[in-house]
Amino acid sequence: MNAPHVLPRNLRFLIAAMMLLPASVMGWEVILQEENLRVQQRSYPGSDLNEIRGVVRVQASLNALMALLKDAPFNRYWVYRSGGATILQENGYTQAYVYGVVDAPWPMQDRDTVVRFDYRQQPDSKIITIDITNFPDFIGEKDEFVRVPDFGGYWQLRPEEAGWVEVTYQVYGDPGGMIPIWLANYAAVRSVTKTLENMGPAVKRYQGTRSPIVQEAFTD
């Protein structure tokens, strides 16, 4: 008996992104399921673009993951298609305004974003949530980039036993400009997927770091 033909994962992403059935009717639609990684999509209210949610399990401390997520200059080495990020303003340890560049594939023009990150940790569960809010007018636009008009979401770090953390990354973004809907949805899925795949290797450089606002759920 011949083995069943399995489509390459990139092609599965593309087919899923091109499905224009309103995901809001069905709720979250699973488009990738692996051992430690799940990616879902659903339609975003009032838009033809999809909201994407990825969940990955990473073996790391909460402190290390927080250090990774707060290190804007290192962003370009693990966030998919990041062209670099810079902290514009910090308000203590719990809030930061960050400027970022998205290295868009040819022939599209590169994008840039300005977002605010708000960090908080629940005292009992030790779950960390990082809210992402769009602030496109925080600084002036640059001629070489298309400013992303709408972007938002959150990171959530949920500690588990044995040194594991369940990481959720949920985002919605309108890239602006003239981009086909299917291509924007495909790019969003790929961005979340590749970013979460890169997270495990990237966080290793931060093991042993400590943050004044992070408490571990499990201690030796």
pTM assigned to the model = 0.88
pLDDT digits (tens, 9 = 90+) for 14-59: 555 554 444 444 589 999 999 999 999 999 999 999 999 999 999 9
pLDDT number for residue 193: 98
Alpha-carbon distance values, 176 to 109, 136, 149, 168 (Å): 10, 12, 6, 25
Rounded to an integer, what distance in angstroms lies between the CA atom of residue 34 and that of residue 39? 9
> What's the rounded Cα separation, in Å, for the pair 113 and 8?
31
Residue that the structure tokens 């770090």 belong to: 157
pLDDT (average), residues 198-219 = 94
The per-residue b/e assignment along 152-190, b for 16 or more CB within 10 angstroms, e otherwise, is: ebbbbbbbeeeeebebbbbbbbbbbeebeeeebbbbbbb
Residue 81 tokens read as 């298609």
Backbone angles phi, psi at 47, to 5 degrees: -145, 155
C-alpha 90/C-alpha 96 separation (Å) is 4
CATH numbers and ranges of domains, the chain: 36-206 (3.30.530.20)
pLDDT (tens digit, 9 = 90+) per residue, 157-205? 999 999 999 999 999 999 999 899 999 999 999 999 999 999 999 999 9
In Å, what is the CA distance from 146 to each residue of 16, 119, 125, 192? 26, 27, 40, 20
Retrieve residue 203's tokens.
């966080």
Per residue in 56-113, pLDDT (tens digit) is 999 999 999 999 999 999 999 999 999 999 999 999 999 999 999 999 988 889 999 9
What does DSSP say about strands 111-121 and 146-147: parallel, antiparallel, or unpaired? Answer: parallel
Dihedral, CA atoms, 7, 12, 14, 20, nearest 10 degrees?
130
Q: How far apart are alpha carbons 131 and 192 in whole angstroms?
A: 16
